[in-house]
């Protein structure tokens, strides 16, 4: 793990070793898959350093959220973990990784979704744009923080995304065809 990634994780998670372990194990799985996608698809010209660091930092904001099932006892709704992580990473000076954090939830959160579901997010589009953002978002869908040993099948991912609407499933299907 890169020194600056380790420093950021340590500074926010050292007082919660169980959550730190969940974060690192989940993020490592996401990183390994993202790097595998890049290795199998050199035509995408994905930056592997961004994939490596971005995967390890994409969920940095969970520490601020209330999700007792994974040891998170913060004050914010879990839907905000990407945005909160992005704010933290921006304060550290890492805009590229901030964008990954705020754009990895579901298959991205559109302004229309924010308005229709009354989500507590700024009214803007939080959909992945760069190839690295898309690969990390895609890879993240296969790994749960509640069952670290299990890698979801594409069908399991589709089923879990269906609750967010057909648009999310469709975006995943496009990525699955591109990346698998």
Give the whole-number percent of the chain exceeding pLDDT 90.
93
d(CA 152, CA 83): 25
Specify the CATH number of the domain 3-179.
1.10.3210
Residue 165 banded pLDDT, cuts 50, 70, 90: confident
Q: Average per-residue pLDDT in the chain?
A: 96
Which runs of E-coded beta strand occur in the chain?
66-67, 72-73
Q: Is the dihedral of CA 100, 106, 108, 114 positive or negative?
A: negative
Q: In the chain, where are the structural domains located?
A: 3-179
Dump pLDDT digits (tens) for 54-63: 999 999 999 9
């Amino acid at each position: 793990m890169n020194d600056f990634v380790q420093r950021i994780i340590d500074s926010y998670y050292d007082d919660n070793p169980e959550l730190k372990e969940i974060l690192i194990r989940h993020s490592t799985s996401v990183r390994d898959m993202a790097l595998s996608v890049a290795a199998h698809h050199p035509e995408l010209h994905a930056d592997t350093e961004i994939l490596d660091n971005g995967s390890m930092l994409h969920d940095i904001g969970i520490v601020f959220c209330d999700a007792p099932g994974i040891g998170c006892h913060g004050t914010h709704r879990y839907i905000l973990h990407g945005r909160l992580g992005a704010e933290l990473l921006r304060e550290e000076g890492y805009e590229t990784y901030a964008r990954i954090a705020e754009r990895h939830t579901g298959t991205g959160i559109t302004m229309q979704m924010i308005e229709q579901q009354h989500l507590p997010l700024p009214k803007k589009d939080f959909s992945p744009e760069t190839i690295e953002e898309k690969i990390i978002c895609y890879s993240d869908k296969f790994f749960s923080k509640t069952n670290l040993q299990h890698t979801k099948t594409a069908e399991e991912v589709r089923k879990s995304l269906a609750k967010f609407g057909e648009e999310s499933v469709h975006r995943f299907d496009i990525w699955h065809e591109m990346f698998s």
